[in-house]
A and B are shown apart, each in its own frame.
Chain A
Amino acid sequence: MKKVILLCLSMISAFAQSYAGKVPLVSQNQGVYDGTSRLNSPELLHNIMLYQNWGGLFVNLQIHWFRTLFFGITVGVLVVFFLHYIVIGPKKFAHDGKAIYVYNLFKRIIHWMAALAFVIVIPTGFMMIFGKELGGGTLVLDARYLHSIGTVLFIVSVIPMFLMWLIPMLATFDDVKWLFMAGGYLTKKKVVVPAGQFNAGQKMWFWLATLGGFVMIITGAAMYFEDFDLAILKSLNLDQIDILRISAIVHNFLGMAVTALFVTHLYMSLFAIKGSLDSMISGNKSEDEVKYMHSSFYKKLKKEDKI
Chain B
Amino acid sequence: MANTWGYGAMTNSLNDIQNAKAIIIFGANPAVNHPVGFRHLLVAKERNNAQIIVVDPRFTRTAAHADLYAQIRPGTDIAFMYGMLNIIFKNGWENKEFINDRVYGMDDIRKEAAKWTPERVSDVTGVSTQKLIQITNAYARQTPGTLLWAMGLTQHTIGSSNTRIAPILQLALGNMGVEGGGCNILRGHDNVQGATDMCCLSHTLPGYYGLSDGSWKYFAKSWGVDYNWLKGRFKAKEWMNKKGFTLARWYAGVLAGKAGEDKIHNAGTNLKALVVLGNGITSIDQQAKVKEALDNLELIVIADPFVNEAVVLTDKKDDVFLLPAASQFETSGCVTATNRSAQWRSQVIEPLYESKTDQDLMFELAKRLGFYKEFTKGMLMKENKKSFKWPEDATDEFARIIKTIGFTGWTSKRLKNHQKNWDKFDHVSLMGYGPMKGEYYGLPWPCWTETHSGSPVLYDINRSVKEGGMGFRNRFGLMHDGVDLLAGKGSAPKDSANPDGYPEITAKNIEKVLGITLSASEKKRIGKNWKVDTSNIIAQKCMERGMAPYGNAKARANVWTFPDRIPMHREPLHSPRQDLVKEYPTYKDKPNHYRVDTRYASEQDKEDWSKKFPINLITGRLVNMNGAGVETRSSKYLAKLSPEMFCDINPGLAANHDIKNGDMMWIHSPSDTKIKVKARFTYSVAEDRVFLPMHFAGYFQGEDRSAHYPKGHKPYAVGESANTVTNYGYDIVTQLPETKGGLCRIEKA
Contacts and interface: CB of A to CB of B under 8 A. Distances in A.
Given A31-B646, A31-B661, A32-B646, A26 B641 contact: no
B651 A32 contact: no
Interface string B241-275: 00000000000000000000000000000000000
A34 B641 CA distance: 7
A26 B682 CA distance: 6
A36 interface: yes
B681 A32 contact: no
A26 B641 CA distance: 17
A36 B639 CA distance: 12
B680 A32 contact: yes
Q: Is the interface of B mostly helix, strand, loop or mixed?
A: loop
B643 A34 contact: yes
B679 interface: yes
A26 B681 contact: yes
B662 interface: yes
Interface in B661-712: 661-662, 678-683
A32 B641 CA distance: 9
Nearest to A33: B662
A21 interface: no
A31 B681 contact: yes
B683 A26 contact: yes
B678 A31 contact: yes
A32 B682 contact: no
Interface in A206-234: none
A31 B662 contact: yes
A26 B652 CA distance: 13
A30 B640 contact: no
Contact of A35 (B643, B646, B682, B683): B643
A240 to B, nearest CB: 17
Contacts of B662: 30-33
B661 A34 contact: no
A30 B661 contact: yes
Contacts of A31: 646, 661-662, 678-681
Interface in B619-678: 640-644, 646, 651, 661-662, 678
A32 B678 contact: yes
B643 A30 contact: no
Contact of B640 (A23, A26, A34): A34
**Residue in A23, A31, A36 whose Cβ sees the most chain B Cβ within 10 Å:** A31
Contacts of B679: 31
A32 B679 CA distance: 8
Contacts of B641: 34
A107 B238 CA distance: 99
Nearest to A24: B651
Interface in B267-286: none
A36 B646 contact: no
Q: How large is the interface on A (under 10, 10 to 19, 20 to 34, 35 or more residues)?
A: under 10
A35 B640 CA distance: 8
Contacts of B642: 32, 34
B677 to A, nearest CB: 10
Nearest to B680: A31
Contacts of B683: 23, 26
A34 B644 CA distance: 8
Given A31-B678, A31-B679, A26 B651 contact: yes
Nearest to B644: A32
A212 to B, nearest CB: 37
Interface in A33-65: 33-36
B739 to A, nearest CB: 22
B661 to A, nearest CB: 5
Contacts of A26: 651, 681-683
Interface string A16-34: 0000000100100011111
Contacts of A36: 640
Q: Is the interface of A mostly helix, strand, loop or mixed?
A: loop
B72 to A, nearest CB: 22
Interface in B45-91: none
B477 to A, nearest CB: 54
A30 B682 CA distance: 9
A35 B636 CA distance: 13
A32 B719 CA distance: 12
Contacts of A32: 642-644, 646, 662, 678, 680
B679 to A, nearest CB: 6
A285 B683 CA distance: 72
A234 to B, nearest CB: 13
Nearest to A23: B683
B708 to A, nearest CB: 24
A23 B642 CA distance: 25
Contacts of A30: 661-662, 680-681
Contacts of A34: 640-643
**Residue in A26, A32, A35, A36 whose Cβ sees the most chain B Cβ within 10 Å:** A32
B64 to A, nearest CB: 12
B266 to A, nearest CB: 43
Nearest to A36: B640
Nearest to B679: A31
A21 to B, nearest CB: 12
A34 B717 CA distance: 11
Contacts of B681: 26, 30-31
A30 B649 CA distance: 12
Nearest to B660: A31
A158 B678 CA distance: 44
A161 B164 CA distance: 83
Interface string B382-400: 0000000000000000000
A31 B681 CA distance: 7
Interface string A246-275: 000000000000000000000000000000
Contacts of B646: 31-32
Nearest to B639: A34
Contacts of B640: 34-36
A32 B645 CA distance: 8
B24 to A, nearest CB: 27
A306 B642 CA distance: 72
A37 B170 CA distance: 48
B59 to A, nearest CB: 12
Nearest to B642: A32
A34 B642 CA distance: 7
Contacts of B651: 26
A26 B651 CA distance: 10
A32 B681 CA distance: 10
A32 B678 CA distance: 8
B692 to A, nearest CB: 13
A239 to B, nearest CB: 18
A30 B679 CA distance: 10
A31 B679 CA distance: 7
A280 to B, nearest CB: 53
A147 B497 CA distance: 90
Contacts of B644: 32
Nearest to B640: A34
Contacts of A23: 683
A12 B662 CA distance: 32
B29 to A, nearest CB: 16
A30 B684 CA distance: 14
A303 B680 CA distance: 72
A238 to B, nearest CB: 20
A61 to B, nearest CB: 35
B663 to A, nearest CB: 8
B667 to A, nearest CB: 15
Interface in A106-131: none
Contacts of B661: 30-31
Given A31-B678, A32-B662, 12 more contacts: A26-B681, A26-B682, A30-B661, A30-B680, A30-B681, A31-B646, A31-B679, A31-B680, A31-B681, A32-B643, A34-B641, A35-B643
Instruction: Pick the 5 closest A-B CB pairs, nearest first.
Output: A31-B680, A31-B662, A31-B661, A32-B646, A26-B681
15 contacts: A23-B683, A26-B682, A26-B683, A30-B661, A30-B662, A30-B680, A31-B646, A31-B680, A32-B642, A32-B643, A32-B678, A33-B662, A34-B641, A34-B642, A36-B640
